[in-house]
Chain A
Amino acid sequence: MRVRIWGTRGSYPVANASMLRYGGNTTCVEVEAEDHHIILDAGTGLRMLGEALRQSHAPPNRFDLLITHTHWDHIIGFPFFAPLFDPNSKIDIYGLARTQSSLRTTLAGALSDPLLPLTLDDLRAQINFFEIGAGHCLELGPVRVRTALANHPYRALAYRLETDQGVLTFIPDTGPFHTVLFGEQRIEWTGQPTARSQSELRELAAMKEAILELAYRADWLIYDAQFTDAQYARFPHWGHSSASQAREIAEAAQVRQLILFHHDPHRTDAELDQIVAEQQAAAVPGLIISAAFEGMELARKP
């Protein structure tokens, strides 16, 4: 199992000289296991993956695309993924089942007039849509996949990918599990945490439990660290975590390496260097902390 990170940024892509080292493309991670290619999220990093495949010697043409949710930063690379237009490609797309709209309708709507001049028929690849929920298990070739729900506006999935060569847990968008419980409704933030009902508190606790289980002893936990602690205090209703909140989850789940992810579009390379140093200094012994950068590769040492 080999993991390669193609996009690390959250909210929107940024082309900025002071952010190039960690990268300006939005979320996309490639996982290769034997001859299986699994892609996590379709941010602008997906376009770069497609370009790289086009230049490779024997490009694969069979992909599983696992989408956490369909906020723009997670799908903006989708129509720019070259294999979509290749009739020899086969792409299975997995995403969260929703009562309001299907995954197919959501993606088709994003691609079609007046937002873009495409229809699903223009995508020549053989595409299948699979709608899944939390606690779902899949076997994709040698990779065992499990899902849980993240604490994010309108809900998002988190994924655990497991092979004999390593475990990757991918939670790019989630708030912590104490102040705000996200669901179908928009959270109005008044500046003060509102009183939560017992059932909300129970739901938050259960959600955290499931997330810790999803990350349990993972080799690599790629986790939302959009905020500083000061930013989290101002924007708890956005559904993102701070780097220290990410570290707490990694420690509780006994993860080997925490990879801070979904970098804020204003976060410079120098700031990220400092955040990593601070979190590493605060971490329990044995936990490695890094910030995801474009081109980062993860593999267990033989």
Chain B
Amino acid sequence: MKVRFWGVRGYVPTPNAAMLRYGGNTCCTSVTGEHGELIVLDTGTGFCMLGDELMQGEFGRGRGTLTLLISHTYWDHILGLPFPGVVHIPGNRLDIYGPDSTRGSLQMVYDGMLSPVYSPVFGLAHIGATHRFTPISTEPFIVGQLTIRAMPLSYRPHSPIWAYRLEEGGRALVYITDVRYSERGIREAAIAFAKQANVLIHSAPYLRDEQVEDYGHSRVEDAIEMAQAADVERLLLFHHAPMRTDDELDAIVAHFRQMLAAQGSPLQLIAAAEGMELVV
């Protein structure tokens, strides 16, 4: 599996010269399998950049297939979907997995997001690519040679949030975002879910010093403790806060690497950056 980050910012895109190295586009990560399967985790504005690149290949000719795994439907995870030309080319296929909310299925949420009052697309029916929505469950499923598992990260029925685990050839990538470990039982379940992952992508917008309460977002320290408890190899901090500059992120990573070294921890810590590629 090859991972590439297209958007790593949380909450809102931040076009800012002091944030370009890590990047200002919102959540979107692509995973490419050994046999070319293309899986995309969330469609924030980073998806627009991915779409531009896909246009150069099979997708530009209407012969592409994309599996989208949606963690949840807050703006910074979905608003990029309708913009890339590739989603409007007939023949392309979008297989979209994600949670249904008690306020509407995933498909209804996307349809509402694209309704004429919010979008010139005038609704999901006008997305030219063939699209199929599948409500996510804990039942594992297969995309090409990859096995995908999912786990609920929230008990709030209006706003379900799910984590994903992608496995291929004995290697595992886990994606956890917008988690609140103060919810009962979630931390233990997440640790079991991420057990011995080679790569864990984990949202961590703030530090405990900055955010004393866990307001729907685990902090950097929570992500590190969780990764250690799950025996993760590499932790990628993700969903950076909108005010966080490149230099501040460098300093945060340096500080916590030093801490890990002092502990003798084998955990590798990296801050995800737009354009960064890694092999799981």
**In the complex where A15-B25, A109-B112 touch, is A24 in contact with B159 (Cβ < 8 A)?**
no
Contact present for A14 and B15 (CB under 8 Å): yes
Q: Are B12 and A115 neighbours in the complex by a CB distance under 8 Å?
A: no
Interface-side segment among A68-76, A159-167, A268-276: A68-76
Q: Is residue B29 within 8 Å, beta carbon to beta carbon, of the partner chain?
A: no
| Residue of A98, A238, A265 most packed against chain B (CB within 10 A) | A265
Residues of A within 8 A of B120 (CB): 71, 153-154, 238-239
Taking a contact as CB atoms under 8 Å apart, the answer to whether B118 and A15 are in contact is: no
Which among A11, A106, A113, A116 is the interface contact of B117 at CB below 8 angstroms?
A106
Assess the A110–B13 pair: CB atoms within 8 A.
Answer: no
Interface contact B75-A115, CB-CB below 8 Å: yes
Please report the C-alpha to C-alpha distance between residue A266 and residue B12 in the assembled complex, in whole angstroms. 19
The one of A15, A75, A76, A154 in contact with B24, judged by C-beta atoms closer than 8 angstroms, is A15
Q: Please report which residues of chain B, range 258-280, place their CB below 8 angstroms from some CB of chain A when the two chains form the complex.
A: 274
Q: Which residues of B contact A206 (CB under 8 A)?
A: none
Say which residue of A12, A100, A106 sits within 8 Å of B79 (CB atoms).
A12
A71 near B118 (CB under 8 angstroms)?
yes
By the criterion CB–CB under 8 Å, are A110 and B25 in contact? no
> Quick check: A71 and B119 within 8 Å, CB to CB?
yes
Indicate if B48 sits at the interface (CB-CB under 8 A): yes
Find residues 75-121 in chain B having any chain A CB closer than 8 Å to their own CB. Answer: 75, 79-80, 83, 101, 103-104, 109, 112-113, 116-120
- Tell whether B68 is near chain A: CB-to-CB under 8 Å: no
Min distance, Cβ A172 to any Cβ of chain B, angstroms: 14
Are A117 and B159 in contact, with the CB atoms below 8 A? yes
Tell me, in angstroms, the Cα distance from A68 to B109 when the chains sit together.
24
Min Cβ gap A176→B in Å is: 16
- The answer to whether the Cβ of A83 comes within 8 Å of any Cβ in the partner chain is no
Cβ B159 vs Cβ A114 within 8 A? yes
A253 to B24, CA, bound (A): 38
Q: In the assembly, what is the distance between CA of A15 and CA of B15, in Å?
A: 4
CA distance A44 to B26 in the complex (A): 13
Bound CA span A115–B122, Å: 18
Interface residues of B in 155-211 (CB under 8 A from A): 156, 158-160
Q: What separation, in Å, do the CA atoms of A101 and B117 have in the docked complex?
A: 8
CB of A292 within 8 Å of the partner chain: no
List residues 62-89 of chain A with CB under 8 A from any CB of chain B: 70-72, 75-77, 80
Quick check: B45 and A12 within 8 Å, CB to CB?
A: yes
Tell me if B74 counts as interface (CB < 8 A to partner A).
Answer: yes
Q: Is B219 an interface residue when CB atoms closer than 8 A count as contact? A: no
Contact A44 to B119, CB < 8 A, known contacts A11-B83, A115-B74 = no
Asked if B48 and A265 make an inter-chain contact with CB atoms under 8 angstroms apart, the answer reads: yes
- Residues from chain B with a CB closer than 8 A to the CB of A24 are 13, 15, 24
Interface band, chain A: 35 or more
Query: Which B residues are CB-close (under 8 A) to A116?
Result: 74-75
Is the pair B74, A153 in contact by a Cβ cutoff of 8 Å?
Answer: no
Give the B interface residue count (CB, 8 A): 43
Please report the C-alpha to C-alpha distance between residue A81 and residue B9 in the assembled complex, in whole angstroms: 18
Give 1 or 0 for each of B236-268: 1 = CB within 8 Å of chain A CB: 000000100000000000000000000000000
Q: Which residue of A lies closest to B158 (CB)?
A: A113
Q: Answer whether residue B72 sits at the interface, using C-beta atoms and an 8 A cutoff.
A: yes
Chain A residue with minimal CB distance to B109? A114
In Å, the complex CA distance between A166 and B132 comes to: 53
* Known pairs A117-B159, A154-B117; A44 contacts B12 (CB<8 A): yes
B118 contact from A16, A72, A80, A117, Cβ within 8 A: A72
Give the CA-CA distance A154 to B160 in the complex, in Å: 31
CB pair A14 B159 closer than 8 Å: no
Q: Fill in one digit per residue for A93-114: 1 if any B CB lies within 8 Å of its CB, else 0.
A: 0000010110000100110011
Whether, in the assembled complex, B14 has its beta carbon less than 8 Å from a beta carbon of chain A, the answer is yes
- Nearest residue (CB) in B for A188 is B126
B109: which A residues are within 8 A, CB to CB?
A: 114-115
Please determine whether A115 and B113 come into contact, CB atoms closer than 8 angstroms. Answer: yes
Question: B144 interface residue, CB < 8 Å from A?
Answer: no
**In the complex where A113-B101, A114-B101 touch, is A13 in contact with B117 (Cβ < 8 A)?**
no
Please report B residues at the A interface, Cβ cutoff 8 Å.
9, 11-17, 19-20, 23-25, 45, 48, 52, 72-75, 79-80, 83, 101, 103-104, 109, 112-113, 116-120, 122, 126, 156, 158-160, 216, 242, 274
Q: Please, could you name 9 A-B residue pairs with CB atoms under 8 Å apart, sorted by A?
A: A12-B45, A12-B80, A15-B9, A20-B15, A72-B113, A76-B75, A101-B117, A116-B74, A238-B120
Inter-chain pairs besides A15-B20, A114-B103, A238-B120, 13 sampled, C-beta below 8 Å? A13-B15, A13-B45, A15-B13, A19-B15, A20-B15, A23-B15, A24-B15, A72-B118, A106-B117, A114-B160, A115-B74, A115-B109, A153-B116
Interface positions of A (Cβ within 8 A of B): 9, 11-17, 19-20, 23-25, 44, 47, 70-72, 75-77, 80, 98, 100-101, 106, 109-110, 113-117, 153-154, 184, 186, 238-239, 265-266
- Going nearest first, the 4 A-B pairs with the smallest beta carbon separation are A24-B15, A15-B24, A113-B158, A186-B122
